[in-house]
Every structure is written in structure tokens, then in C-alpha cells.
Chain A
Amino acid sequence: DTGVSQDPRHKITKRGQNVTFRCDPISEHNRLYWYRQTLGQGPEFLTYFQNEAQLEKSRLLSDRFSAERPKGSFSTLEIQRTEQGDSAMYLCASSLDGGPLYEQYFGPGTRLTVT
């Protein structure tokens, strides 16, 4: 399967701990997006990369959140000093530059539970 993969699929952590999630996009896709989804809601945009450059960040991305995409391949999303409100599904998506701009391919998500 050459789709978008995310690791881990589930993460349970205690409030105050740091967590890091990984996303591996489809190999030829240079655009990479992170979204957050809470129960009963649609996904909300967090940040966007084109290759290794982080070009856009949502106001939802507080100072405790940081994302990287070294070498324009996989991406990581780190949450420092987690809070219970960070509990959500974190989704990664990728798309191809030059392709239909809004045809994004999503991974299965990482479900974070902060206790």
C-alpha cells in the first residue's frame, strides 16, 4: 500500500507530557497538510508544507505545537505540555503539486488521548 501512513495510530499520554506524531506522505507528493478532528466535528486545518517549507499555520496551532518536514519527505507534529483539550484525531494529508489542488489524500490519523 503506497498511501499516506501515520504513526502511531493511537497515543495515550498524561497531561503535561510531550508527544510526537509522524506522517509519511505519498512519495511523489510535495504538499503536506495537518488537520485536527474532535468528536462530531469535521477536520480543522492546522498547518501546510510545500516540500520542506512550512507555508501556512492556523491560529489553532498554538505555541505548544510545532511541525517539521525535513528534506521534504516525512513530517512530524509535536505537542509540548499536552492538555486535555488536545485530545483529538490528528490527520495528515498530502497532494501533488500541479494536480487538482483540493484532491488531498488522507492518512488514517493518530488518535491522541490526554488523561
Chain B
Amino acid sequence: DAKTTQPPSMDCAEGRAANLPCNHSTISGNEYVYWYRQIHSQGPQYIIHGLKNNETNEMASLIITEDRKSSTLILPHATLRDTAVYYCIVRVGGSQGNLIFGKGTKLSVKP
């Protein structure tokens, strides 16, 4: 029972903004939205998280809709090194926060 829906793949031109959507229509009021990415042959890397408000850090911006049913991760100036699988996570398991990953979006940044 997936709690998130992401497109399986997206392309983006180098230097342009990459906008990765995520639908989470059944999100609960106290569930955060987390984004991780996984570059080929590496472990996942935390990017950003948010609850209601938009968030920005040195890596990306996270835009969450007012009804919290969807969000968009924005990489403002994508580089070739941003080519990776991006995971949107709203579900965590157990009492200690083990992450529940879906299949993510494979972002390919092209020159």
C-alpha cells in the first residue's frame, strides 16, 4: 500500500531547474515529507524534509501544497552529478523511524 506516487523517470537539461513531483494524497496530519536521493552505486542521501511550509536548503527546495496531498522537490540548477533516483517518503515504520522507500524517480540530467 504505497503512500507516495512518483513518475518512474524524468529528464532535465543541465543548468535548468529539475522539478520532481510526488503525490501523497493519504498523508496524515503529523506525517512529514522526506526526500532522499541515491546516486548509482552509492547509499541514499538525505536531501530535505518538511511538514507544511515550504523549505529550502543548500541542496534543494521543497514545495508542499496547502492541502499537503502533493509536493515538489526543486533542484534549481541541475548538474550532471544530480543524476540519481529520487525518493519521496511520507511513511516511516516502527517506533524508531525506519524509512519506507518506494521505487522513486530516476532523474537523468543531460548536457
Q: Could you tell me which A residues sit within 8 Å of B by CB distance?
A: 4, 31, 33, 35, 40-45, 48, 50, 55-56, 58, 91-93, 95, 100-109
Contact = CB atoms under 8 A, between A and B. Distances in A.
A41 B99 contact: no
Interface of B: 32, 34, 41-46, 49, 85, 87, 89, 92-104
Contact of A48 (B42, B46, B85, B94): B94
Nearest to B34: A102
Contacts of B100: 45
B96 A31 contact: yes
Nearest to B85: A42
A42 B101 contact: yes
A115 B21 CA distance: 39
A53 B100 CA distance: 22
Contacts of A101: 92, 96-97
Contacts of A55: 95-96
